Amino acid sequence: MTQSEIPSIHAHGASIPQIGLGTWQLHGAVLQRAVAAAADAGYRHFDTAPRYENEAELGAALRRTGLPRDSYFLTTKVWFTEASAPAFLASAEASLRRLGTDQVDLLLIHWPSPDVPLAETVGALCEAAARSYTRHIGVANFPARLLERAIELADRPLVANQCEYHPRLDQSAVIEPCRRHGVAFVSYSPIGSGHLLDEPVIGAIARDHGKSPAQIMLRWHLQQGMVAIPRSSSPERVRENIALTDFTLSEAEMARLHALAAPDGRIFNPEWVQSWE
């Protein structure tokens, strides 16, 4: 597997590889093995956040791979409790120190804050870019109305909105404004945090293609033009999750996967979320 086999999504100057390694809950030797396997398999996109408490470990693991810093796309975030301007910029600076880099490729507002005005947080996000802490900026977990507002408030383009997305969750209301504004949609939990691996419809499609259920779901993301950041602690699964370029899902198969969406399909619904509308 080479880097060129996995396409990138282009958004306002950013080139984001469509498959990245999510690192939530990965630590220590498990993280090191996953990153090494990912680098060897052709991943050139890695995603972390202060909330994951693994930025320093990820930075060290990436240096061990020998990959030049300019050869991979690195994302981190700022947690919603750090949404005021001074705290936001301090968080971004601390992330750079922990990661051992002068600049990330993408800095995201991890969640909308229920307490700090969005204008202040977006202003700080733009200031982080002005200070060259990051090449590009974006948001995460923003419903359509807040995404539209953030785009209005920002003095530079938002390149991504990272949200939960998998066949059980209809995200068309958020995907539509992303596409209209040229914002990349980045899917976290793209295989439903493992909850969909035994879904009969997905299993049947997987058998038809001689692929795993995870590969079927990830191919579904790719064919929609999404970026997906699956996480796995298994080097074998890490390698499998990027081996997606030797098959294609038919329109009928894509429709069968879309039809799995359910009203209760959301996995992550934390208490601080005021509304998904």
Annotated active-site positions, please? 52
What percent of the chain is helix, strand and coil (3-state, nearest 5)?
A: 45, 20, 40
Cα separation, 173 vs 155, whole angstroms:
24
Beta bridge partners of 78: 109
The candidate with the shortest Cα–Cα distance to 240, out of 43, 27, 3, 45, is 43
Alpha helices in 154-271 (DSSP H): 172-180, 200-209, 213-223, 235-240, 251-258
The candidate with the shortest Cα–Cα distance to 163, out of 148, 151, 149, 173, is 173
How far from chain centre, in Å, is Cα 55?
15
Decide if 274 contacts 114 (C-beta within 8 A).
yes
The candidate with the shortest Cα–Cα distance to 197, out of 154, 156, 240, 151, is 240
Decide if 27 contacts 57 (C-beta within 8 A).
yes
Phi/psi of residue 188, each to 5°? Answer: -100, 160
Cα separation, 167 vs 259, whole angstroms:
8
Beta bridge partners of 109: 78, 139
